[in-house]
Amino acid sequence: MIVIFAADAAAPQASSQVAAAPEGALRWVCPDKPENNLTYYPDRARDRGIAGAANVDCTVAASGRVMSCTLTKEEPPKWGFGEKALHTACLLRFKPLADPDAPPYSVNKTFRFGTN
C-alpha cells in the first residue's frame, strides 16, 4: 500500500506581501483524493520501496486557491519527492476566507511518502 500524508502548519514567517494564515483557514474545502495514489508517488522511489518527505511553502489566495509553492526541503534528495509534493500542493484547495479581498497568506506543508 502506498501512503502519502500532508501535515498542516502555518509558515513560520509571513513576508510583507503575504499575511499569516488566519485561524481556521487550513481546513480543506474538498480534498482531491484520487483512487490511485500511485500517480502522486515518484515512480522510481515506489519501484524500489523508498520512503521520503518533502516540505513546501505555498501562497494561498483568499479564495482558497494555491497560487504558488516553493520546495524548501526534500529527503532523501533526487528521488522525486520534491517534484511530486509541488505538483500535489498546487492541486490543494483551502477553505475560502470570509473577506474575499483579504491578502494572500502563507502555508507550510510537509508531504510524507511511505510504502507501508
What domains lie within the chain, and their CATH numbers?
Answer: 3-114 (3.30.2420.10)
**Under a CB-based contact definition with an 8 Å cutoff, are residues 107 and 21 in contact?**
yes
Count CA within 13 A, CB hemisphere, residue 44: 8
Q: What percent of the chain has pLDDT over 90?
A: 37
pLDDT in tens, 49-61: 999 999 988 889 9
Calculate the alpha carbon distances from 75 to 51, 78, 104 in Å. 9, 8, 28
Q: What is the pTM of this model?
A: 0.68
Mean pLDDT of 9-31: 43
CA-angle at 20, arms to 88 and 34, nearest 5°: 15
With beta carbons less than 8 A apart as the criterion, state whether 51 and 113 touch. yes
Q: What pLDDT digit, counting tens, does each position of 97-108 carry?
A: 999 999 999 999
Amino acid at 12: P
